[in-house]
């Protein structure tokens, strides 16, 4: 697995609050409108107790029916304003929240596309999916609450000011518990933050199990491991439950305090205020007004716990998203890019290339020199894990070399814009990936605007046109996830057609015929011969018939080119070459005994002959 220096450089993690602020800041106009709507809602809400006092004192106590009707109508009008303001505040809050969530998700997606292969090698897909789904949802839910939070804060401040202006003594009794609530809120926040962090990590663990089980369903069913995966998911969800219940226990200890202290203040107000009314120092309407304001404080105070908990989860989620966004890609476009020469033939050169996936470990390629002439087809042969696929990955800069350089038509690949480089290199790997789309769309993946005639011609060259024509909807047939509704050979031929249509200068076939049925393999070999003609091609293979497509064969051993020549020359002169082919044939027989044909048997016989002691 690649190490950190190869993968990406990471900036110092930022505070979750900073990330949230930067996400909301572009929408400050809508946020401000939401705050204004919240101000209107707050003003309407806090005016109702005062209007109620006037209706009681002037209408009911004063026995003035006209005054009672007047104040009742005023309260109704205020209620209409409050309702409209509440609707506007809610709409604007969700607008900002969903915009922010969508923008963060797009930023995260585009950034993931920019990060190099080494990052994705060490990062679990479930972790990335968790950040793109669960974490962003937590951020969205908190942003929705921003206008509500501001409204609650305004209510608390307004009510406190009004209470002090109405009756300072009663206000002290009513607000005397607020310092204690503030103290407990801080303690609650400090305790719930690490629990929220652990909860988000455990949720990511659940996402990993689900993602790996679904994408690897064939392996799970093939080994009868359903119960094992079910037990693993049960263990993970159990840990999520434990963390969630730990957070719930913290809230359960805090919420009763939020309920108790306002109730204490209300009791004190009723006791002291009641005596004030009896002593004619306070009107009944005034007492109702005062108690209404105290009751109005209960909801904002009760929401404090929920707001703090949601804020902590949002902060944690924002930090987790920023862990990805703050990871700087190391494989980027050059500051002063060059262009490939027009009409170049696809010459490829490795000059003293050294590369290791893990810094400090033994190099996979060690000062390797390689030269592929324009239009030449070269077969790269070597034992398992000798670095053949690494060569294929270094040419399009999936990874950067540790030292030395790689040139295409005389230009260092690090001096090219990545899109230009990768459009000049076509790859077909053994592990074929197809998208959940039509067959035509998969073939035209690199050129979505390609005419249908070109798509069909690419399929014909890859030997895929015949089986596609037999499908219910032909090229418009929808294939399942990753193309698993097709056979391995069919998937491979579509992948080859996709590479052909891209019309690259350099074509790399990394065991591209490995999944093809031996009875059909000759058809693809014939097609490959046509497409390879005049195009620089690297063929990574072990089967002699596929190797024979190449003009020259290179034996890769110990990170360097150990021998070169034609297939026949190496068979006759190089024992290591015979051993590699024979071992590959044996591995093929163990892995796919049905495909073990006469060609593989010949390779195995060569191995036995090569390893037999020489009589003297």
Q: What is the pLDDT of residues 489-532, one digit of tens each?
A: 788 888 888 888 888 889 888 876 665 666 566 666 666 776 77
pLDDT at 409: 92
Order of strands across the sheet with 536-540?
A: 425-428, 506-510, 536-540, 377-382, 552-557, 560-565
On whether the CB atoms of residues 139 and 105 are closer than 8 A, the answer is no
Q: Is the pTM of this model over 0.75?
A: no
Rounded CA-CA distance 331/418 in Å is 9
On whether the CB atoms of residues 421 and 396 are closer than 8 A, the answer is yes
Rounded CA-CA distance 427/43 in Å is 65
Average pLDDT over residues 242-259: 78
> Where, residue-wise, is CATH 3.40.50.300 in the chain?
346-424+506-513+534-580
| More confident site: 338 or 160 | 338
Torsion angles phi and psi, residue 373, rounded to 5? -75, 155
Cβ atoms < 10 Å from Cβ of 276: 19
Q: What percent of the chain has pLDDT over 70?
A: 84
Q: Rounded to the nearest 10 degrees, how much is the dihedral formed by the CA atoms of 48, 50, 56, 58? A: -120
The residue assigned the tokens 């993946």 is: 445
Q: Rounded to the nearest 10 degrees, how much is the dihedral formed by the CA atoms of 305, 310, 315, 320? A: 140
Q: What is the pLDDT of residues 391-422, one digit of tens each?
A: 989 999 999 999 999 999 999 999 999 989 98
DSSP string for residues in 515-554: TS-HHHHHHHHHHHHHHHTTSEEEEE--SHHHHTTSSEEE
The mean pLDDT value of the chain amounts to 80
HSE, CB side, 13 Å, CA atoms: give it for residue 187: 12
Q: What is the pLDDT of residues 502-514, one digit of tens each?
A: 888 898 888 766 6
pLDDT at 3: 35
Order of strands across the sheet with 348-355?
A: 365-372, 348-355, 403-408, 411-412
Q: Which of 113-117, 166-170, 367-371 has the lowest mean pLDDT?
A: 166-170
On whether the CB atoms of residues 511 and 430 are closer than 8 A, the answer is yes
Average pLDDT over residues 183-200: 73
Rounded CA-CA distance 140/93 in Å is 10
Q: Which of 42-46, 289-293, 474-478, 589-593 has the lowest mean pLDDT?
A: 589-593
pLDDT bracket for residue 218 (50, 70, 90): low
What are the tokens at 341? 């020469």
The residue assigned the tokens 């690419």 is: 458
On whether the CB atoms of residues 538 and 507 are closer than 8 A, the answer is yes
104-117 per-residue burial string, b: 16 or more CB within 10 A, e: under 16: bbeebeebbeebbe
Is residue 263's pLDDT more than 90?
no
Average pLDDT over residues 546-561: 87
Q: In CATH, what number does 8-329 get?
A: 1.20.1560.10
How is domain 346-424+506-513+534-580 classified at the architecture level of CATH?
3-Layer(aba) Sandwich (3.40)
DSSP string for residues in 63-87: T-HHHHHHHHHHHHHHHHHHHHHHH
Q: What is the pLDDT of residues 425-453, one digit of tens each?
A: 988 877 778 887 888 988 988 888 889 99
Average pLDDT over residues 107-132: 82
Distances from the Cα of 539 to the Cαs of 259, 392, 479, 578, in angstroms?
A: 73, 10, 28, 18
Q: Which of 37-51, 190-204, 226-240, 551-565 has the lowest mean pLDDT?
A: 190-204
Q: Determine which helix (DSSP H) or strand (DSSP E) holds 503, and give its type and residue range.
A: none
Is residue 4's pLDDT more than 70?
no
Rounded CA-CA distance 586/382 in Å is 15
pLDDT at 411: 93
HSE, CB side, 13 Å, CA atoms: give it for residue 1: 7
pLDDT bracket for residue 131 (50, 70, 90): confident
> Where, residue-wise, is CATH 1.20.1560.10 in the chain?
8-329
| More confident site: 43 or 356 | 356
């Amino acid at each position: 697995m690649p190490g950190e220096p190869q993968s990406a450089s990471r900036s110092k993690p930022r505070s979750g609050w900073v990330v949230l602020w930067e996400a909301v800041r572009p929408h400050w106009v809508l946020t401000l409108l939401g705050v204004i709507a919240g101000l209107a809602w707050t003003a309407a809400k806090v005016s109702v107790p005062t209007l109620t006092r006037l209706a009681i004192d002037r209408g009911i106590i004063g026995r003035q029916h006209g005054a009672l009707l007047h104040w009742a109508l005023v309260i109704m009008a205020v209620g209409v304003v409050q309702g409209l303001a509440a609707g506007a505040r809610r709409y604007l809050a969700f607008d900002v929240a969903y915009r922010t969530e969508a923008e963060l998700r797009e930023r995260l997606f585009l950034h993931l596309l920019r990060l190099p292969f080494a990052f994705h090698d060490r990062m679990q897909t479930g972790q990335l999916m968790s950040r793109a789904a669960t974490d962003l949802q937590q951020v969205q839910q908190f942003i929705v609450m921003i206008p509500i939070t501001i409204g609650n804060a305004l209510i608390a401040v307004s009510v406190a000011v009004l209470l002090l202006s109405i009756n300072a003594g009663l206000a002290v009794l009513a607000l005397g518990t607020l310092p204690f609530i503030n103290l407990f809120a801080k303690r609650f926040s400090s305790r719930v933050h690490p629990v929220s962090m652990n909860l988000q990590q455990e949720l990511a663990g659940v996402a990993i199990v689900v993602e790996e089980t679904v994408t690897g369903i064939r392996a799970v069913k093939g080994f009868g491991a359903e119960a094992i995966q079910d037990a693993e998911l049960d263990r993970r969800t159990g840990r999520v439950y434990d963390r969630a219940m730990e957070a719930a226990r913290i809230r359960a200890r805090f919420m009763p305090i939020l309920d108790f202290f306002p109730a204490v203040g209300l009791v004190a107000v009723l006791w002291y205020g009641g005596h004030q009314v009896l002593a004619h120092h306070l009107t009944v309407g005034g007492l109702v007004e005062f108690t209404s304001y105290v009751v109005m404080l209960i909801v904002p105070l009760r929401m404090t716990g929920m707001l703090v908990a949601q804020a902590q989860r949002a902060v944690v989620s924002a930090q987790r998203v920023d862990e990805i966004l703050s990871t700087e890609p190391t494989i980027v476009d050059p500051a002063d890019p060059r262009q490939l020469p027009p009409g170049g033939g696809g010459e490829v050169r490795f000059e003293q290339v050294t590369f290791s996936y893990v810094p400090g470990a033994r190099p996979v390629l060690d000062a390797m020199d390689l030269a592929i002439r324009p239009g030449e087809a070269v077969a790269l042969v070597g034992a398992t894990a000798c670095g053949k696929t690494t060569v294929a990955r270094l040419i399009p800069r999936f990874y950067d070399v540790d030292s030395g350089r790689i040139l295409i038509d005389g230009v260092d690949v690090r001096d090219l814009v990545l899109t230009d480089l990768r459009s000049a290199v076509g790859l077909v790997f053994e592990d074929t990936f197809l998208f959940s789309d039509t067959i035509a769309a998969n073939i035209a993946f690199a050129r979505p605007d390609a005419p249908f005639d070109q798509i069909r011609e690419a399929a014909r060259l890859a030997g895929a046109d015949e089986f596609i024509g037999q499908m219910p909807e032909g090229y418009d047939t929808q294939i399942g996830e990753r193309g698993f509704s097709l056979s391995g050979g069919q998937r491979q031929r579509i992948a080859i057609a996709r590479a052909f249509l891209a019309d690259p200068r350099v074509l790399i076939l990394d065991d591209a015929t490995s999944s093809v049925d031996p009875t059909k393999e000759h058809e693809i070999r014939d097609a490959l011969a046509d497409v390879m003609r005049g195009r620089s091609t690297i063929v990574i293979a072990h089967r002699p018939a596929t190797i024979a497509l190449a003009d020259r064969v290179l034996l890769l051993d110990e990170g360097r080119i150990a021998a070169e020549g034609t297939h026949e020359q190496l068979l006759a002169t190089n024992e290591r070459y015979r051993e590699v082919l024979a071992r590959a044939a044996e591995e093929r027989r163990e892995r796919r005994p049905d495909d073990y044909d006469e060609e593989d048997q010949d390779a195995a016989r060569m191995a036995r002959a090569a390893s037999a002691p020489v009589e003297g």
